Structure 1
Amino acid sequence: MEKSKTTVIIISVLAVALVVITVLLFTEKQTNKELVQEFELEKEDLENQYTDFAKQYDELKLTVSNDSLSVLLEQEQMKTQRLLEELRTVKSSNASEIRRLKKELASLRKVMIGYINQIDSLNRLTAYQKEVIADVTQKYNSASRQISDLAEEKKNLNKKVALAAQLDATNIEILPMNKRGKKAKKVKDVVKFKIDFTIVKNITAETGERTLYVRITKPDNDVLTKSASNTFSYENRQLAYSIKKYIEYNGEEQNVTVYWNVEEYLYAGAYRVDIFADGTLIGSQGFTMD
């Protein structure tokens, strides 16, 4: 009887122990399952961080124009992608590797912050340089305009000085003469032209010997000349002249007379006399012969 009672007690104890062990095993399994899920979530979160980190390098590279810095960013991005690939091959339960890759990510983050600060400094410097360049360009353009305006003013002043220094022929009179030295009434009687004119006083004009060219133009615009080689320069071309006259100019008013001996056929119509000096037309006068 005593033996049977002992057996019952042992069986009861074993049953209780079995229940306790079963409960403990179930609890441990449940705990392990929860830990695995937690590790998987942690790994997934870490992968997302690495992926976002790699994308941030793409965005950073778009803001950089410095080639050396672009190379460094590319290297860091490749390192991030390599660590991401390692993470994807690591088991969720490998806590030591997960911790290592977390530390690697923290180190990469510090490096990126350094690059961001460097890029920000470069961008501020670039913006400042652009402002300086824009300011210098504006000042240069302003100075160029002032120089251009001054050059134009000087050019206009030189023109005015040149115009003021030019000789001027006035009181131009043309007398068609017959063989008796009198005024010819008919064109057929003209044997000579007497041309009188006055070089006016000009204290700004250069003194010394000057050459005057007189052109007598017929009604058909043909110029009376003794030789085809009798030409002078005027506005980048050669013009034929009828008479060349040397004078000694002293700045004072001076009367000049020249003659043209008629050796060609003349006909009735409007004639013109033009007087040139120093490559400039200084006087003109038309006359008509019947």
Structure 2
Amino acid sequence: MTENKNNRTITWIVGGILILLLAGVSVLLISEKKVNKELTQEFELEKEDLENQYTTFARQYDELKLTVSNDSLSSLLEQEQLKTQRLLEELRTVKSSNAREIRRLRNELATLRKVMISYINQIDSLNRLTAQQKEIIADVTQKYNAASATINNLSQEKKALNQKVTLAAQLDATAIEVTPLNKRNKRTKRTKNIVQLKIDFVISKNITAQTGEKTLYVRITKPDNDVLTKNDADVFAYENRNLRYSIKKYIEYTGEEQPVTVYWDVEEFLYAGTYRIDIFTDGNLIGSQNFSLN
């Protein structure tokens, strides 16, 4: 009787211990499951954060390429962007629980970050250099334009001065007077009695004019604008064309005032009206005068 009672007691004790062990194991399993769930959530969040960082990096390479005009650097940025996109695809295929791969890809991201920083520094240096070059080019251009303007002004001033010098050196024929003469060498007023036209004028004093032999061309123009000439071949050059002349006269100009007289022998019919005398030398018109015949 006593032995049976002892056996039941042992059985109760063993059963209690087993129940306690089962309860402990259950608690441990529940706790471990909870921990595993929390770890899984943490891994998923870490993976998601890593994916966001990779995506941001890929987008930043697009932005960087827009700021680069250097072909070599642009090509390197393109390569790094492709590498980033490739690693992002790898990350997306990795399970959240694969801690080893997640850690490797996180290290790759750290390396990519260092590379990007180095490229950003290069781009900043190039941009600063480009800005300095633009400033230098702008400064040189401004100085060139200023110098060109100065040269142009000097050229205009020189041209104007040359024109003044040319005008100052040009001879002038003044005091032009035409005297109709008859066969007795006397002044006459009747056109039918005129056998010769005496033309007097004065070459003014000009110390700036070139001295030496001068060729004077005198044109006598009738009222109908026809030029009196002895030969149609009697022409001289004036303003890129040839003009007929009536009389050619050689003088030795000394720079001092010099009277000149030329004659036109009348061999054609002269009618009443207003005639004109024009005197040329050195390619310039140096004097003109109208006169009338009755």
TM-score by length of 1: 0.96
Structure-to-structure mapping, 1:268-283, within 5 angstroms: 268-283=272-287
Q: Which residue of 2 aligns with 1:216?
A: 220
- How far apart, in 2, do the equivalents of 1:23 and 1:254 lie? 140
Residue of 174, 179, 186 corresponding to 2:183: 179
Q: Which residue of 1 aligns with 2:61?
A: 57
Is residue 238 from structure 1 mapped to residue 242 from structure 2 by the alignment? Answer: yes
Structure-to-structure mapping, 1:97-176, within 5 angstroms: 97-176=101-180
What is the alpha-carbon root mean square deviation over aligned residues?
1.2
Structure-to-structure mapping, 1:246-261, within 5 angstroms: 246-261=250-265
- How far apart, in 2, do the equivalents of 1:96 and 1:136 lie? 60
- How far does residue 188 in structure 1 lie from its aligned partner after superposition? 2.9
- How far apart, in 2, do the equivalents of 1:189 and 1:37 lie? 136
Deviates more, 1:179-188 or 1:195-204: 179-188
Structure 2: tracts of 5 or more residues without a match: none
Is residue 15 from structure 1 mapped to residue 19 from structure 2 by the alignment? Answer: yes
Identity %: 72
- How far does residue 181 in structure 1 lie from its aligned partner after superposition? 2.0
Residue of 270, 288, 294 corresponding to 1:284: 288
The CA deviation string for residues 84-134 of structure 1, in whole angstroms up to 9 with x for no partner, is 111111111111111111111111111111111111111111111111111
Deviates more, 1:212-221 or 1:186-195: 186-195
- How far apart, in 1, do the equivalents of 2:256 and 2:195 lie? 33
- How far does residue 38 in structure 1 lie from its aligned partner after superposition? 0.8
- How far apart, in 2, do the equivalents of 1:180 and 1:213 lie? 27
- How far does residue 186 in structure 1 lie from its aligned partner after superposition? 2.4
Structure 1: tracts of 5 or more residues without a match: none
Deviates more, 1:178-187 or 1:150-159: 178-187
Q: Which residue of 2 aligns with 1:207?
A: 211
- How far apart, in 2, do the equivalents of 1:89 and 1:188 lie? 126
Q: Which residue of 2 aligns with 1:267?
A: 271
- How far apart, in 1, do the equivalents of 2:192 and 2:94 lie? 125
TM-score by length of 2: 0.95
Q: Say which SS state the counterpart of residue 45 (structure 2) adopts.
A: helix
Count of residue correspondences: 290
Over 4 Å off, 4+ runs: none
Deviates more, 1:190-199 or 1:272-281: 190-199
The CA deviation string for residues 192-237 of structure 1, in whole angstroms up to 9 with x for no partner, is 2111101111111111111111111111222112222221111122
